[in-house]
Amino acid sequence: MKLYSYFRSSAAYRLRIALNLKCLAYEQVPISLLKDEQSQDSYAAINPQRLVPALDDGGELLTQSMAICEYLDETYPDPPLLPKNAPERARVRALSLAIACEIHPLNNLRVLKYLKHTLKQDDEQRNNWYRHWIAEGLAPVEKMLAASPRTGRFCHGDMPGLADIFLVPQVFNALRYECSLDAYPTIRRINDECLNLPAFAAAKPDAQPDAVS
């Protein structure tokens, strides 16, 4: 498998965790967002959305990290990323989407660029924007996790799964932008549990071949 990736892309980070949890071997093809390589026509031929990540699984080109995680879970079912019954699967997907739809898209590099170049927002205004959506988004995720007996060592029970795959890269981003996580004790606890696992630790941005400081 070939993973088109950027060390700091949190959507790529999700896939590195998923592939590691499944013990699937993959080669990383670095696409530098800093150098805008994702916008080049050569990459658009792989992913017309000009976004990382994309996964090439034996010639099948897959895009969108959530769709790829579902594909991996259907194609390589062991260990599973989703529980067995429909209401529990819905809970795990809802937690994942509460991050994938409500937080991450607003803090994407292209959005920050639009705020800077088109709306002429300065560093402080952009940082406030970033932290606003992190706080707006993590608070309900904390509530959903803290309120449910289905939460265990991880987001759902005692095995890591899809929601953890989405949570950890989002927490990484929050820390990078110096957001306080004091109000989210369950999220912090689960994030720590995850990072103790080799599958998560090996997926960290600074452990990737294309990492630059």
Q: Site residues (CB under 8 A) for its own copies?
A: 48-51, 60, 62-64, 66-68, 70-71, 74-75, 86-87, 89-91, 93-94, 96-98, 100-102, 104-106, 110-111, 114, 118-119, 121, 125, 128-129, 132, 136, 140, 143-144, 147
What minimum distance in Å lies between the beta carbon of 74 and its own copies?
4
The distance of closest approach from Cβ of residue 158 to its own copies in the complex, given in angstroms and rounded to an integer, is: 22
Q: What is the largest CA-CA distance in the chain?
A: 48
From the list 19, 170, 199, 33, the residue with the least C-alpha distance to 105 is 170
Q: Which of 32, 64 has the CB closer to its own copies? A: 64
Shorter beta-carbon distance to its own copies: residue 89 or 188: 89
| 147-166 burial code (b ≥16 CB/10 A, e <16) | eeeebeebbbeeebbbbbbb
Determine the distance from the C-alpha atom of residue 81 to the mean position of all C-alpha atoms in its chain, rounded to a whole number. 14
User: Nearer Cβ to its own copies, position 110 or 197?
Assistant: 110
Nearer to its own copies, 30 or 83 (CB): 83
Q: Which residues neighbour 96 within 8 Å (Cβ) at sequence distance 6 or greater?
A: 66, 162, 163, 165, 166
Residue pointed to by tokens 């803090």: 107
Closest separation in Å from C-beta 205 to its own copies: 20
